[in-house]
Amino acid sequence: MNAGPRHLEDGRARPLSELAALVSGEVLGEPSTPIVGVSGLEQAKAGQLSFFGNQKYKKQLAASAASAVLVPRDCPPSERGVAFVRVDNPHLAFARIAQEFAPRRVFAAGVAAGAHVHSSASIAGTATVQAGATICAGAHVGARSVIGPGCYVGARARIGDDTVLIANVSVLDDCLVGERCLLHSGVVIGSDGFGFAFDPSIPAHVKIPQTGIARVEDDVEIGANSCVDRATTGETVIGRGTKIDNLVQVGHNCVVGPLSILCAQVGLAGSTELGMGVVLGGQVGVAGHLRIGDLAKVGAQAGVMSEVGDGEIVNGSPQMDAKDYMRAAAVFRRLPELNRTMRDLQRRLDALEQESKKP
C-alpha cells in the first residue's frame, strides 16, 4: 500500500465516473468527483484515488485523505463520505487506472550522433538509438524500440518492435529479445553459462564453450542487474509475459515458462525448467536439472532441491509443503522448551531405572 503519487502533468482532472468505467466499477458517492492522480492510502491527498484490498489496512483507509478509493465488491459505503468504487480486484483496477496517469516519455526517432552503429546493422526508421549505445554487425532493432545510453546490442542480436532497453543493457551476440519488452539498467542477456569440466591431471577447471543463445519472448520485463545466461548448446528461454525482478540469475539452458514471476535475488541453476505461471519468492534458490510445475508457488528463501508438481505451494530448505513448513516452523520455535522437557523426562526415567535395580 505504499504506492507513490502519480498525477497528470497538466493537472487536468478526470471525473471519477470516467475512471470507474475503465475498470467496470460501481461508484458509491459523487460520480463527478475530480481526480488528478493516484497514490497509496497513507500518502494520498484530496483529488487523488487510492485502493483498499487487504483488511490489515483498515486503519489507513479510515484515516486516508484520498478523494476516492477502489474497494472490493462487498465493501459497505464510507462512513466519512469518501467516494468508493466497488471492483472485483482493487489492486488490478488501481494498476489500470494508474496507467492513465503515468507520464509517457516520447522519444525522437533516429540514431543520436554519439551512438555507434555498424554499417550492416538494421535499425527501423521509427526506432531510437541514444548517445553512447553500440549496435554491432548484423544486429536488428525493431520499430519504435528504444536503445538507451550505454546499451550494447551484439553481433546478429535482434530486438523486437516496441521494446525498451533503459540504459547500460547488454544483449550479446546472436541473442533474441521479443516485442514490447522492458529491460532495466544493467541487465545482461547472453553472458556465458557457468560451465566447466575438472581435469585432475593439471589440475584445472576447463571451460566448456557456451555456443547457444538466450531468447526472451514478447511482453517480458526484467529488472535491474539481472542476468540471463546463454545456453551451452541450444537456448535459454524466458517465456512470454514473464516478469523478473532486480538481481535475478537465470542459468544456462533454463526454460522459464510464460507468465511466471521471479522476485528479487532468485537464482536458477542450469537446465532448470519452470512451467507456466510459476511464482518464486525473494531469494529462492533452485538446483539444476529439475522442473517446477505449472502454477506452482515457492516461498521466499526456499531451497528447491527436487521437483515441484503442478500447483504445489512449498517453502523451506529443502522445500516441503507450505502448510507442513509452517507447522514445522512452529515446532522449531519451541525447541529450547522441548529440549528442557526431554532432559527432565530423561532424568526422571534414569531415576526410575536406578530405583528398579535396587534389591
Q: Which of 7, 140, 184, 252 is catalytic?
A: 252
Question: How far lies 308's CA from each of 19, 53, 59, 292, 315, in Å?
Answer: 41, 30, 39, 5, 11
Question: How far lies 21's CA from each of 15, 18, 24, 35, in Å?
Answer: 10, 5, 5, 14
Closest CA to 37 of 104, 101, 105: 101
Closest CA to 215 of 186, 174, 248, 247: 174
Q: Which residues does 198 contact at the CB level (< 8 Å), separation at least 6?
A: 204, 205, 206
All three cell numbers of 35, joined, read 481526480
205 is catalytic: no
- Beta strand ranges found along 68-149 (DSSP E): 68-72, 83-87, 110-111, 116-117, 122-123, 128-129, 134-135, 140-141, 146-147
For 90, the 3-state DSSP assignment is: helix
Closest CA to 107 of 135, 140, 138, 149: 149
Closest CA to 277 of 298, 304, 296, 303: 296
CB-count exposure of residue 291 (10 Å: 0-12, 13-18, 19+) = buried
For 265, the 3-state DSSP assignment is: coil
Asked whether the beta carbons of 157 and 151 are under 8 A apart, the reply is: no
Asked whether the beta carbons of 76 and 54 are under 8 A apart, the reply is: no
Length of the chain: 359
Q: How far apart are the first and last CA of the chain?
A: 74
Amino acid at 147: I
Catalytic residue numbers read: 252
